[in-house]
């Protein structure tokens, strides 16, 4: 679902940009301006989203000691890197079914399952998956849950189905869950509902265990569940 929505947005945005550029080129504008501007136009939604997230994060920031604070240069690098990363993730999410495949079914002691966060799919794990493979970590599986704005408990049921399939293919008794953002809450809901017997280790990265003010940005059941209070 996420990939389809992104693809529709890509096509609509590209069609609008080509039409807009064609209009002004017909009026005598230099075409090269629009060629150079295409990457900037592509990244403009990422710029808007990241700016909004950074402003919200600053407004609702947690007090921290001076040594733990980012300086202006580090904050600027983080901001620009986040814009680039978000822009890069979109085509990876659109093409995720072509880029990510399950490992060949074979016996394994501790399969790893990568669980993505809210409003994305397993395409965001492509580089992490390659990094793990280069370092001899295998087998590594991913999962996709949806629809994107459904309930976290619903996603936990999908994770249960995925884990059982992986255990059947590998013969493993337990798996390692590596999660990002809301994926950590999905994994916690799974453990609460189905028990921890099938989980060797649960690793959460950036999970909003105490809620997140950023969850007010969009509507949806899972986002409502992540709002503080």
Tokens of 83: 């814009």
Q: What's the pLDDT at 68?
A: 86
* Cα angle for residues 10, 218, 210 (degrees, 5° grid): 130
The alpha carbon of residue 203 and the mean position of all alpha carbons in its chain are separated, in whole angstroms, by: 16
Q: What's the pLDDT at 84?
A: 95
Beta pairing, strands 175-180 & 112-115:
parallel
Residue 8 CB neighbour total at 10 angstroms: 10
Low-confidence ranges of the chain (pLDDT < 50): none
Q: What's the pLDDT at 209?
A: 93
Q: What is the pLDDT of residues 132-175, one digit of tens each?
A: 999 999 999 999 999 988 999 999 999 999 999 999 999 999 99
**Whether the Cβ atoms of residue 162 and residue 113 lie closer than 8 Å to each other:** yes
| CA–CA dist 130, 227 (Å, integer) | 33
Q: Please report the domains of the chain, with CATH numbers, ordered by start residue.
A: 2-94 (no CATH), 98-225 (3.40.50.1820)
Q: What is the pLDDT of residues 85-101, one digit of tens each?
A: 999 999 999 999 999 99
> 127 — alpha (psi -120 to 50), left (phi > 0) or beta?
alpha
Predicted TM-score of the model (pTM): 0.91
């Amino acid at each position: 679902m996420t990939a389809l929505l992104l693809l529709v947005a890509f096509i609509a945005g590209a069609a609008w940009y080509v039409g807009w550029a064609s209009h002004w080129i017909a009026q005598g504008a230099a075409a090269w301006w629009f060629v150079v501007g295409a990457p900037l136009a592509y990244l403009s939604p990422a710029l808007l989203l990241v700016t909004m997230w950074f402003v919200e994060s600053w407004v609702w920031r947690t007090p921290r000691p001076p040594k733990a604070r980012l300086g202006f240069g580090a904050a600027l690098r983080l901001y620009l890197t986040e814009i680039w990363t978000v822009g890069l993730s979109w085509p990876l999410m659109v093409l995720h079914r072509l880029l990510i495949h399950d490992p060949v079914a074979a016996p394994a002691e501790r399969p790893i399952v990568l669980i993505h966060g809210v409003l994305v799919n397993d395409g965001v794990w492509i580089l992490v998956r390659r990094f793990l493979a280069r370092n001899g970590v295998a087998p590594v599986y991913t999962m996709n849950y949806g629809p994107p704005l459904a309930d976290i408990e619903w996603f936990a049921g999908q994770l249960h189905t995925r884990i059982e399939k992986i255990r059947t293919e590998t013969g493993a008794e337990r798996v390692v869950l590596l999660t990002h953002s809301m994926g950590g809450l999905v994994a916690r809901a799974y453990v609460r509902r189905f028990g921890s017997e099938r989980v060797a280790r649960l690793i959460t990265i950036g999970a909003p265990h105490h809620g997140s003010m950023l969850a007010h940005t969009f509507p949806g059941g899972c986002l409502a569940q992540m709002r503080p209070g």
